[in-house]
Amino acid sequence: MSDDLGTPHLRFERRGPIGWCTIDRPEARNALTASMYFGLRKAVDLVNGDPDLGALVITGTGDVFAPGGEMGGRHDEGKINVGALLGMDVLPFNALRNSAAPIVSAVNGLCQGGGLMTALLSDVAVASDRATFRAPELLRGVADSWYAAVLPAHVGIARARDLVLTARRIDAVEAERIGLIARVVPHEELLETAEQIASQILETAPIARAQWKRIVNSQYGWVDEPTMGASIRAPECAEGFKSFVEKRPPSWVPIQD
């Protein structure tokens, strides 16, 4: 049985008490449109509101989990602009953070931007040994307050600064070593492992589990949404997105002689 999440690029399947949400937009390497972000939030709400479902697994297709938001202008057939895409009313992150139902991310490949935040806010993130991770927001001119609030709780302030300020890419082994994710497994074992993790979590007492999750997630910092919103609307962000699409350095990068 499947459920409609409002976009053809998210597939939702029921496998016993576990809901599976698969990000499936291979023609754009799983870049997330506004409807896809909203669909992820809907998947979380669906699992929390359905007595037949107890947990959610999120994964991607091919060699990409999720690279973050669409920056090439292909937003829901042109109906939604970049501001709407990144607007706080469509992002799923609060739903992920506050979910009573357990959430497992099965990171099958490239994971960055909103995809990385989805993995961070999952209860358990298990990654393929082929996965890579990156936080490229400052390259696009976005002062991402979610990273500022969440990432230091996982990896510490020094490593959070390193990852965000340099925007460097790391592999799954390093991601596990620094606490960005929980586990690394061979690629061919990823989905089976994710299902085992979700099943094991469902063996724990649901009320106590939800209370424990709430306590842990309360340790994340305050998310400065006004600053992030202002950053997204600023000319610097517009230049960051435009330079990415045009495959050139943004105007703020010093010219090297």
What pLDDT digit, counting tens, does each position of 152-207 carry?
Answer: 999 999 999 999 999 999 999 999 999 999 999 999 999 999 999 999 999 999 99
What is the reported pLDDT for 89? 67
Tokens encoding 142: 């976005």
Average pLDDT in the 91-115 region? 97
Residue whose tokens read 């393929």? 128
Q: Tell me the C-alpha distance between 84 and 107, whole Å.
A: 26
Q: How far apart are CA 3 and CA 35, in angstroms?
A: 15
pLDDT for 79 equals 42
Q: What is the C-alpha to C-alpha distance for residues 114 and 149, in angstroms, rounded to an integer?
A: 14
In the chain, what percentage of residues exceed pLDDT 70? 91
Model-level pTM?
0.93
What pLDDT, on a 0 to 100 scale, did the predictor assign at position 74? 56
Report whether 34 contacts 80 (CB < 8 A): yes
pLDDT score at 90: 80
Nearest to 95 by CA among 35, 33, 40, 146: 40
**Contact between 56 and 13 (Cβ < 8 Å):** no
How does pLDDT run across 23-45, given as a tens digit for each residue? 999 999 999 999 999 999 999 99
The confidence band for 22, taking pLDDT boundaries of 50, 70 and 90, is very high
pLDDT over 80 (residue 256): no
Residues 243-250 have a mean pLDDT of 93
Those residues with Cβ within 8 angstroms of residue 103's Cβ, 6 or more apart along the chain or in another chain: 44, 47, 55, 56, 57, 58, 96, 121, 122, 123
What are the C-alpha distances in Å from 9 to residues 21, 65, 77?
A: 10, 13, 13
Domains contained in the chain, CATH given: 2-192+199-217 (3.90.226.10)
